[in-house]
Amino acid sequence: MADRRHNARDVFPPTGTDLNTKSWLTEAPLRMLMNNLHPDVAENPHELVVYGGIGRAARTWEDFDRIVASLKSLEDDETLLVQSGKPVGVFKTHKDAPRVLIANSNLVPNWANWDHFHELDKKGLAMYGQMTAGSWIYIGTQGIVQGTYETFMEAGRQHYDGNLKGRWILTGGLGGMGGAQPLAAVMAGACCLAVECDEKSADFRLRTKYVDEKTHSLDEALEMIGRWTKAGEAKSVALIGNAADIFPELVKRGVKPDIVTDQTSAHDPVNGYLPQGWTVAEWRGKAETDPKAVEKAARASMKVHVQAMVDFWNAGVPTLDYGNNIRQVAMEEGLENAFAFPGFVPAYIRPLFCRGIGPFRWCALSGDPEDIYKTDAKVKELIPDDAHLHNWLDMARERISFQGLPARICWVGLGQRHRLGLAFNEMVRTGELKAPIVIGRDHLDSGSVASPNRETEAMKDGSDAVSDWPLLNALLNTASGATWVSLHHGGGVGMGFSQHSGMVICCDGTEDADRRIGRVLWNDPATGVMRHADAGYEIALNCAKEQGLNLPGILGR
Amino acid sequence: MADRRHNARDVFPPTGTDLNTKSWLTEAPLRMLMNNLHPDVAENPHELVVYGGIGRAARTWEDFDRIVASLKSLEDDETLLVQSGKPVGVFKTHKDAPRVLIANSNLVPNWANWDHFHELDKKGLAMYGQMTAGSWIYIGTQGIVQGTYETFMEAGRQHYDGNLKGRWILTGGLGGMGGAQPLAAVMAGACCLAVECDEKSADFRLRTKYVDEKTHSLDEALEMIGRWTKAGEAKSVALIGNAADIFPELVKRGVKPDIVTDQTSAHDPVNGYLPQGWTVAEWRGKAETDPKAVEKAARASMKVHVQAMVDFWNAGVPTLDYGNNIRQVAMEEGLENAFAFPGFVPAYIRPLFCRGIGPFRWCALSGDPEDIYKTDAKVKELIPDDAHLHNWLDMARERISFQGLPARICWVGLGQRHRLGLAFNEMVRTGELKAPIVIGRDHLDSGSVASPNRETEAMKDGSDAVSDWPLLNALLNTASGATWVSLHHGGGVGMGFSQHSGMVICCDGTEDADRRIGRVLWNDPATGVMRHADAGYEIALNCAKEQGLNLPGILGR
Ligand SMILES: NC(=O)c1ccc[n+]([C@@H]2O[C@H](COP(=O)([O-])OP(=O)(O)OC[C@H]3O[C@@H](n4cnc5c(N)ncnc54)[C@H](O)[C@@H]3O)[C@@H](O)[C@H]2O)c1
Ligand SMILES: NC(=O)c1ccc[n+]([C@@H]2O[C@H](COP(=O)([O-])OP(=O)(O)OC[C@H]3O[C@@H](n4cnc5c(N)ncnc54)[C@H](O)[C@@H]3O)[C@@H](O)[C@H]2O)c1
């Protein structure tokens, strides 16, 4: 497989207003697929890896080329099917149907584990789609900066009276997602010490100014943190080291951070987590030649790592799992109280999900940053009274450079999303924007994921593992006319632990698009409100009533 | 739950031409839901159980009533979502979207087992949908007769030039499913000797004319078989005895059947299989008082039974496992070459699946048998050269009584299904039929199931467990405009072992329906051809080329 996956060429999405396909509805997935592999966006584009361990945009380079060719010839009443990153069929549908339907990494439950996945992967039969990698709506680290920022802000509200000045956050991992942590912390007013084993990852964050300093010495890192917190300065440092060594060492020294979390890729014990005592080079090599040995050593180290997090928690430090499934592994390795500290969703995000609020995002197909700035202004105009939202938009513009096609994310919910979508479509229609906009979201959203160790951890009614919901979400988005829809397995927390769906809709300025946007950007967050109302959350039940949702078995009408 | 699930009332679907809803597209699911619970169709309708253990049509009676109420008020641009038998939401879509979208029994893989299901079920959070129970397209026992008939016919094609006249089939078991064997064999033109240990089971099949004769004597049974095969007469006999005695005795005598199979309930070694040397009464008693002893003795007998089947196989007799797991038990008992003979899907059904051929079925919403007889005639008219198909239609009309709404099943593939659908729609339009027809299929079909112990056993490329395929099938049927679409987990082989999708389309006589039928009844079987072509089956690759499918990553265009 290696050769079919490796290619030295660089992919850049087309920009501007000339079509490479027969319409904007096929140009949009074409540009967004290529944007996922843009050298400034993807973690390892030559291997087709976008982010999150081995989350890929296409199964092989040959498949990538065939997807592109298929999109170029696709008619506006045809639909392309993509199966684990391979374009398997083009079928006649109709103009209100999605142009692309995607299913990635799905396995019959009894075989839904990494061993079987890797066995298939070796045969060329599989691809790990993560969440937005295989569904072509990754926009670089801005998405995660916003999510992490919201999480840290909420933690600050709950534990430090809304003021993180002079506080510091300990974490691990500066990869595709984790790299957002120091910047999000600083935006939230806190300092950050991030342990990263791969110097290249740290250097990349330094170059893009997501982290302020780098060191190989724990003592030096602690000295910086001490100095900054004392001065009330919000700054961040990357410490090159192994989190499984550093976290316990801090516990041993009695050092107490103000918040502890982790974003190593623990969900993938072969490719995502450096075992203690190994060099990065040894690890990468052995992951190819002896994956079993890597997995065993990595899992043992995760247990040590989580033990330290439990120790911080027991010492009164707000500690949270940031969705990498590390508690699960530690528990399987025999750490009984691995789940002592909570996941970030039940702790901080669920109240937002109850109102359909989640990681709404959009991208300017023109490639012109001005298009995004104009939409930023439109959001402020349409949602005038939300200081928090306005503050985010200002900071994002100031501190986050665009990667690949210019994009914006902001967390908005049911009742707002379709208003923004219709307004953007109008701006495309009138020529205010240079080219169409695509609107999508993470699979980590209100109605689109079942993941008992993360997004649906500790649901009020115990329905954590029921995955009817994301499947219904995907079917409904397909029925509502999204431009592409995806169903994935194993994103975020790894094989066996999640099922989730994605959707993207293209605002091409047409009146057909108005109708589709009105349905999709209402129905999609509404399924999230429905799912949480069914589980008995008051906020969701009230939101459903306020918004006039028709939920027969839930609201009893 | 029991009370919310039990109700003494009998449900009968409305018949005739008066609507109870706002259109035929909502009347159709209403009638088919009710038909699934018709006293002549369902196994335990008062508990909402349709078939297959606890396969239900709705979660509770309250949910049933709410589904009915929702369908009555549903508009033709709205879609009802059903989550594990509960109507959870009504959303605005458009006229070419499905009217109902269903997800039943789906669980995140790591929790996808019977224990967790029962835990949720007790809390009122789950429903087992089986395949066609929760997706409202079960039509009674006609389905298993047809499936068995097709299996025997395909065996006849492969081994006897398509002519089973003068041939005979040896089998065991005349239970709920196995009882279809003698009738299916006779319909296929063969004689059948079925060994059944429980005289009551044999007597039931005699009464319903599924078997022709009964005897306690092997010599007499062989005399009958000899006489019938010589005369070219297709007849069947039930031999009261133990298959583990009779099969080896036949081997010893050098008797050579033309096909050998078995449908004792070997999958359940305590309650399903009579050990050698035991009476049925002893067996039933000990199954209660000393299940371990029964299991031990039954497993030992199965080894003897399978040894005889392997002997037949080695003697050149086509021998097949009919999905009761008896080879697995024999292997565990030390019979090394227990898997010498194949399972029925890889041996006989897969070549059909490769051409998109599967359990296509339709139902007359009028309730009038004449409507089905007219469609029978239409099928013969449109497919004039298929003697096999004509034979089935004649025999089915003659020997199988309708249960609930009149229905027909026949196995047809890509290229035929949409032609039949369009013709039926035309017959509705012209008034030749009294009311609309619905067309659906089992989830056990070419492109709609991933089930590594049954439908996708031993796939050529090892992709048995890849479930992207049924998910894409459901998404594409949704995008193509099926009237309702479903995604289930655990049908047939139980929790954790399968994922599958269903679809039903209503022929209401309109031109809109023509367009939808043309897409859905082409695309649906085409996904099956695609899935098998991707796995490398020549028949499927050739079929895809002949039918002009556009499969970029598979056919390389
Ligand atoms: N719930 C969420 O919303 C959410 C968001 C972001 C990320 N995550 C999860 O967080 C994890 C990280 O995501 P990512 O995209 O950044 O992954 P990634 O693979 O790009 O980055 C992981 C980083 O961790 C480093 N690392 C691995 N082992 C280490 C160790 N022992 N000590 C120190 N550093 C180590 C790697 O070198 C790499 O830079 C994933 O498991 C992901 O699923 C969850
Ligand atoms: N794969 C498929 O599509 C498929 C289809 C039908 C049946 N099956 C399998 O076939 C088996 C039978 O199904 P069923 O619904 O008819 O089960 P059932 O339990 O209703 O019937 C089994 C019959 O076998 C008889 N029997 C048991 N031990 C015997 C012995 N030693 N000798 C002779 N007769 C014996 C019993 O008396 C009973 O009548 C099951 O294992 C089922 O899973 C699979």
Show the tokens assigned to B457: 């056993």
State the residue for tokens 């009676």. B61
The predicted complex's ipTM stands at: 0.93
How does DSSP classify residue A466?
B
A487-495 average pLDDT score: 94
| The predicted structure's pLDDT at residue A1 | 46
Q: Which residues of A are annotated as a binding site for NAD(+)?
A: 52-53, 130, 176-178, 196, 242-243, 263-267, 273-274, 322, 492
Residues on chain B touching A68 (C-beta within 8 angstroms): none
| pLDDT tens digits, one per residue of B102-127 | 999 999 999 999 999 999 999 999 99
Taking the centre of ligand 2 as the mean of its atom positions, its distance from the CA of residue B274, in whole angstroms, is 11
| The predicted structure's pLDDT at residue B475 | 98
Taking residue A404's Cβ as centre, other Cβ atoms within 10 Å add up to: 24
Burial class from Cβ neighbours inside 10 Å (0-12, 13-18, 19+) for residue B505 reads buried
Å between A52 CA and nearest CA of chain B = 20
Backbone angles phi, psi at B503, to 5 degrees: -155, 145
pLDDT band at A62 (very low <50, low <70, confident <90, very high): very high
- Which candidate in A120, A453, A471, A485 is best for mutational testing of the B interface (most B CBs within 10 A)? A471
Taking the centre of ligand 2 as the mean of its atom positions, its distance from the CA of residue B36, in whole angstroms, is 24
Query: Do A120 and B466 form a contact (C-beta atoms < 8 A)?
Result: yes
Q: Which has more confidence, B242 or A208?
A: B242
Which ligand does the CA of A498 lie closest to? 1
Contacts of residue A92, Cβ cutoff 8 Å, sequence gap at least 6: A77, A78, A79, B480, B519, B522, B523
Pairing outcome for strands B236-240 and A484-489:
unpaired
| The predicted structure's pLDDT at residue B7 | 87
Tell me yes or no: is domain A360-461+503-548 CATH 3.40.1770.10: yes
Pick the catalytic residue from A363, A410, A506, A507: A410
CB contact under 8 A, B108 and A463: no
| The predicted structure's pLDDT at residue A7 | 87
pLDDT band at B53 (very low <50, low <70, confident <90, very high): confident
| pLDDT tens digits, one per residue of B440-469 | 999 999 999 999 988 999 999 999 999 999
Taking the centre of ligand 1 as the mean of its atom positions, its distance from the CA of residue A200, in whole angstroms, is 14
What CA–CA distance (Å, rounded) separates A249 from B554? Answer: 53
Å between A40 CA and nearest CA of chain B = 28
B53 is in an annotated binding site: yes
Which ligand does the CA of B195 lie closest to? 2
Residues on chain A touching B70 (C-beta within 8 angstroms): 552
Query: Do A181 and A192 form a contact (C-beta atoms < 8 A)?
Result: yes
**Of A5-19, A507-521, B284-298, where does the model show the most confidence?**
A507-521
CB contact under 8 A, A469 and B83: yes
Taking residue A509's Cβ as centre, other Cβ atoms within 10 Å add up to: 22
Contacts of residue A304, Cβ cutoff 8 Å, sequence gap at least 6: A244, A248, A276
| pLDDT tens digits, one per residue of A540-550 | 999 999 999 99
Residue nearest to atom 6 of ligand 2 (CA): B177
Query: Do B405 and B367 form a contact (C-beta atoms < 8 A)?
Result: yes
Tell me yes or no: is domain B349-546 CATH 3.20.20.70: no
State which residue of chain B sits closest to A466, comparing Cα positions.
Answer: B107
CB of B177 shorter than 6 A to ligand 2: yes
- Order of all β-strands in the sheet with B236-240: B213-215, B236-240, B191-196, B168-172, B259-260
Could you write out the DSSP letters of every residue in A472-495?
A: HHHHHHHHHT-SEEEEEESTTT-T
Q: What b/e sequence results for A15-42 when a residue is b if at least 16 CB atoms lie within 10 Å of its CB, and e otherwise?
A: beeeeebebbbbbbbbbbbbbbbbeebb
CB contact under 8 A, A108 and B467: yes
Query: Do A171 and A263 form a contact (C-beta atoms < 8 A)?
Result: yes
What CA–CA distance (Å, rounded) separates B293 from B289? Answer: 9
What CA–CA distance (Å, rounded) separates A58 from A87? Answer: 9
What CA–CA distance (Å, rounded) separates A178 from A196? Answer: 10
pLDDT band at A133 (very low <50, low <70, confident <90, very high): very high
B348-377 average pLDDT score: 97
B69-98 average pLDDT score: 98
User: Closest partner residue to A112 among B69, B109, B478, by Cβ?
Assistant: B109
| The predicted structure's pLDDT at residue A22 | 98
User: In DSSP terms, which residues pair with A80 in a beta bridge?
Assistant: A90, A100
| The predicted structure's pLDDT at residue A557 | 62
pLDDT band at B43 (very low <50, low <70, confident <90, very high): confident
Give SS3 for B392.
Answer: helix
B389 is in an annotated binding site: no
Give SS3 for B319.
Answer: strand
Pocket residue to mutate for ligand 2, from B201, B247, B263, most atoms within 8 A of Cβ: B263
pLDDT band at A371 (very low <50, low <70, confident <90, very high): very high
CB contact under 8 A, A107 and B107: no
Backbone angles phi, psi at A6, to 5 degrees: -100, 140
Which ligand does the CA of B174 lie closest to? 2
What CA–CA distance (Å, rounded) separates B524 from B514? Answer: 15
| Domain B142-336 -> CATH class | alpha beta
Residue nearest to atom 9 of ligand 1 (CA): A324
Give me Rg for the CA atoms of chain B. Answer: 23
B57-76 average pLDDT score: 98
Break chain B into its structural domains and give their ranges. 2-122, 142-336, 349-546
B47-54 average pLDDT score: 89
Mean pLDDT of chain A: 96
Phi-psi region of B334 (alpha: psi -120 to 50; beta: other; left: phi over 0): left
Query: Do B450 and A108 form a contact (C-beta atoms < 8 A)?
Result: yes
Alpha helices in B160-259 (DSSP H): 180-187, 199-207, 218-231, 243-253
CB of A320 shorter than 6 A to ligand 1: no
What CA–CA distance (Å, rounded) separates B228 from B232? Answer: 6
Show the tokens assigned to A375: 């939409």
Backbone angles phi, psi at A160, to 5 degrees: -130, 35
B492 is in an annotated binding site: yes
Q: Tell me, what amino acid is at A12?
A: F
Taking the centre of ligand 1 as the mean of its atom positions, its distance from the CA of residue A201, in whole angstroms, is 11
Residue nearest to atom 5 of ligand 1 (CA): A177
Fold for the domain defined by A142-349:
Rossmann fold (3.40.50)
Å between B416 CA and nearest CA of chain A = 17
pLDDT band at B1 (very low <50, low <70, confident <90, very high): very low
Query: Do A166 and A233 form a contact (C-beta atoms < 8 A)?
Result: no
State which residue of chain B sits closest to A557, comparing Cα positions.
Answer: B66
Of A22, A24, A11, A19, the C-alpha closest to A505 is A24
Query: Do B555 and B544 form a contact (C-beta atoms < 8 A)?
Result: yes
Could you write out the DSSP letters of every residue in B247-314?
A: HHHHHHHT---SEE---S-TTSTTTS-PPTT--HHHHHHHHHH-HHHHHHHHHHHHHHHHHHHHHHHH
| The predicted structure's pLDDT at residue B557 | 62
Residues on chain B touching A414 (C-beta within 8 angstroms): none
Taking the centre of ligand 2 as the mean of its atom positions, its distance from the CA of residue B175, in whole angstroms, is 5
CB contact under 8 A, A93 and B126: no
What CA–CA distance (Å, rounded) separates B261 from B259? Answer: 7
Show the tokens assigned to A83: 């199966």
Task: Clarify whether B192 is annotated catalytic.
Answer: no
CB contact under 8 A, A108 and B496: yes
User: In DSSP terms, which residues pair with A102 in a beta bridge?
Assistant: A82, A486
| pLDDT tens digits, one per residue of A403-435 | 999 999 999 999 999 999 999 999 999 999 999
| pLDDT tens digits, one per residue of B301-353 | 999 999 999 999 999 999 999 988 899 899 999 999 999 999 999 999 999 99
Query: Do B62 and A552 form a contact (C-beta atoms < 8 A)?
Result: no
CB contact under 8 A, A549 and B467: no
Å between B549 CA and nearest CA of chain A = 8
Mean pLDDT of chain B: 96
Taking the centre of ligand 1 as the mean of its atom positions, its distance from the CA of residue A179, in whole angstroms, is 8
Give SS3 for B461.
Answer: coil
CB contact under 8 A, A92 and B553: no
Taking residue B62's Cβ as centre, other Cβ atoms within 10 Å add up to: 15
Q: How far is CA B121 from the centre of its chain?
A: 25
| pLDDT tens digits, one per residue of B467-518 | 999 999 999 999 999 999 999 999 988 899 999 999 999 999 999 999 999 9
Which ligand does the CA of B279 lie closest to? 2
Q: How many CA atoms lie within 13 A of B351 on its CB side?
A: 10
| The predicted structure's pLDDT at residue B169 | 98
Å between B135 CA and nearest CA of chain A = 14
What CA–CA distance (Å, rounded) separates A471 from A383? Answer: 31
B481 is in an annotated binding site: no
